[in-house]
Amino acid sequence: AQTVTQSQPEMSVQEAETVTLSCTYDTSENNYYLFWYKQPPSRQMILVIRQEAYKQQNATENRFSVNFQKAAKSFSLKISDSQLGDTAMYFCAFTEGAQKLVFGQGTRLTINP
């Protein structure tokens, strides 16, 4: 069974700093997709970034980038120049296709002014 593990329950950084959230996963499949979702107090799950396993190049979206290490089954999220609006729960998620998403336990990120 696929599992996703986020080992950092909480993190806190100062505004404008860079922060990295960790995620590891377990699968026997070769083709799959990885995501980072942000969930603010409003509860709306917002897609931050996605990575296709067959792509070697790490995905980037503005201030957000990932470090995808397929052999190590690691998928970390880096947030550069952090902003107050980045404060939220962050979930790492995995899917093999148009099926269910398997989520990690989440990391509560707080950006302090």
Partner 1 sequence: EAGVVQSPRYKIIEKKQPVAFWCNPISGHNTLYWYRQNLGQGPELLIRYENEEAVDDSQLPKDRFSAERLKGVDSTLKIQPAELGDSAVYLCASSLDGALAVEQFFGPGTRLTVL
Q: Which residues bind partner 1 (CB under 8 A)?
A: 4, 33, 35, 37, 42-47, 50, 91, 93, 95, 97-101, 103-106
CB of 16 to partner 1, least distance (A): 28
**CB of 52 or CB of 81, closer to partner 1:** 52
CB of 96 to partner 1, least distance (A): 9
Residue 85: φ, ψ to 5°: -70, -10
Q: Taking a C-beta distance cutoff of 8 angstroms, is the pair 78, 64 a contact?
A: yes
Strand 64-69 vs strand 74-79: parallel, antiparallel, or unpaired? antiparallel
